[in-house]
Structure 1
């Protein structure tokens, strides 16, 4: 069976795809922002505003030198770079900066500026941490390499997970991640005191950590050594993850990490109509909860070589495949959460974003 997704809007990205990262959609209840990073600027577009509402943030360094996070209100951008985590206002003013150990390979320095290594061959392809705002915008969670430029503890080159005050960058909490990361990303939780962190360690694994901030101390629990977090359910009670081989989807209980079920791609998802039938079927790294009990997951990575990519509805309680999702025109790539029961896809050329939702149930109130 198939269910046809309802197109809510198509939004053209603000920057040229050839010179910028693909656009992303961030969200909190009732609000969605399109975020796109170029080398010289970050553009944030409020998707709930009447008419164009773009805010541009000058970038302190080119996009290959780190990641970026945007506040829920879209008024501050936090650039997680090679040597520092820097909060920037749309005027270009630095609100605060936390310097840390260098992500550039074996470099042991705590740099004071990007200019110190901008043209250094040894820093051309650095590793990277990441940062994210809590859902209420009051905290910034950051994965960095030690030591910090300030603070009483010596962390040498240990990787740290920090909880920062979003207003002034002061370090509220810190914990060693015990990881050796080449990249990472955060997965926010509806509770601003909780956050997920996925750390890519290349061939060594992909640890998933879960953090809780009680106002005094950051406690960290390892969920697994070989997972990628994909999304958190609207209530915050369930986490969704896929193993690094992309064989199986796993829901976890957020409170203690208990595995609540599993769904293998092989034997569940039918072979692509364009394939010979002997090709491996696997899940995408991204997936999205559309409500507490329903997930939209994709197999676009293995489908792309055979034609139209496929997305699927999954019952998150029983971890069973419900329906294939059809679209009014071909979709591209994986699904990503857009909040409030919606998901988004990025066009094949990276020039636009489509927002989708499930069709209304006959007789049910219209939730649009």
Structure 2
């Protein structure tokens, strides 16, 4: 079975692809942002519900090059947070640093608490550090940050044990005040945040430990206490449903895709083994065991019960990568997406519950927004 995709919009990139990362579409319907990271700045463009420009473009100066960390932006584009090798720094569009929280160095062998990027920026041994990430709550009222401990200035919001490697922080975006902290229970190579789309007190953290695993954490803040669910298994978090009650996950070995509750339990048997659910690529060798399909760590919810997912990484040796729609309330059988034009080698991302999904142009010069035909 297959389903046709209809092109809903073409969103031009803000910067030339040679000078910037692939653009990203952020935010809920009614509060869309197009974001693109260059070495010297994060560039933002508010969009309307038709994905057309709606307001002035915003340029936030970046404190360090793009390969040295991650970033997050407030829903109203008034503040960007850069999660770097040695610090989490909040920067306003004017270029003013609002606050900075220094922490342990993400280069694994380093035990220094650096005071600036310039201390290590040109050092060969710091060329390829691990990294954490940051994320804003859905209302922009809190910043969550995954950092390498210890903090340069501890002594608040409950000190953690000396053996803790990675910390999960809750910060006030107004002044960087530490509201709470928890042991992330990981030794990360990288991570990213996915917020609850309705409850500003909840946040997902997906951690990658390279070949060692993929811890998944779900945090809840009630205004006084931060509680963390340490989800069992090695799972990459790929999406949160519009209600925030369901998570889409892919196992670290990429064999199984599942819909889970925020405690980590699989919902109503909604789990798909790639080998059983998806046919081999039509151009793959039927006798080659390495030609078996496997899920990408990508995708998301198109609505509360429909998923977009893909097998691009496993397909690329044999031909065009494939995308799939999964109706969890219907047949529960993956349907291959058929596009009117080639979509290149990128996995899809969901546009946060409005029925659409996004694929980048191979050139990096635009995003294509799709919906079911």
> Following TM superposition, by how much is the alpha carbon of 1:50 offset from its aligned partner in structure 2, in angstroms?
4.2
> Following TM superposition, by how much is the alpha carbon of 1:231 offset from its aligned partner in structure 2, in angstroms?
0.3
Deviates more, 1:97-106 or 1:228-237: 97-106
In structure 1, which of residues 196, 208, 216 is the aligned counterpart of residue 216 of structure 2?
A: 208
Determine if contact 2:160/2:182 at 8 Å carries over to the other structure: no
Q: Determine the C-alpha separation between the residues in 1 that align with 2:308 and 2:182.
A: 33
> Following TM superposition, by how much is the alpha carbon of 1:306 offset from its aligned partner in structure 2, in angstroms?
2.8
Q: Determine the C-alpha separation between the residues in 2 that align with 1:161 and 1:82.
A: 15
Q: CA RMSD in A?
A: 1.7
1:177 match: 184
What is the 5 A alignment of 1:1-80?
Answer: 1-48=1-48, 50=53, 53-80=56-83
Q: Determine the C-alpha separation between the residues in 1 that align with 2:348 and 2:333.
A: 16
> Following TM superposition, by how much is the alpha carbon of 1:318 offset from its aligned partner in structure 2, in angstroms?
6.7
Report Cα offsets for 1:195-246 as digits up to 9, x if no partner: 1111111222111111111111111111133110000111111101000111
1:305 match: 317
What is the 5 A alignment of 1:93-242?
Answer: 93-152=96-155, 153=159, 156=162, 158-190=165-197, 191-242=199-250
1:315 match: 327
Report Cα offsets for 1:144-184 as digits up to 9, x if no partner: 11121223136556211001111111111100112111111
Determine if contact 2:189/2:210 at 8 Å carries over to the other structure: yes
Unaligned runs of 5+ in 2: none
2:339 match: 327
Unaligned runs of 5+ in 1: 360-368
Q: Determine the C-alpha separation between the residues in 2 that align with 1:314 and 1:104.
A: 40
Deviates more, 1:145-154 or 1:67-76: 145-154
TM-score (norm 2): 0.91
TM-score (norm 1): 0.93
**Distance change in 2, residues 1:182/1:322 (3 Å):** closer
Deviates more, 1:124-133 or 1:298-307: 298-307
**Distance change in 2, residues 1:327/1:67 (3 Å):** same
In structure 2, which of residues 270, 274, 294 is the aligned counterpart of residue 265 of structure 1?
A: 274
**Distance change in 2, residues 1:198/1:328 (3 Å):** same
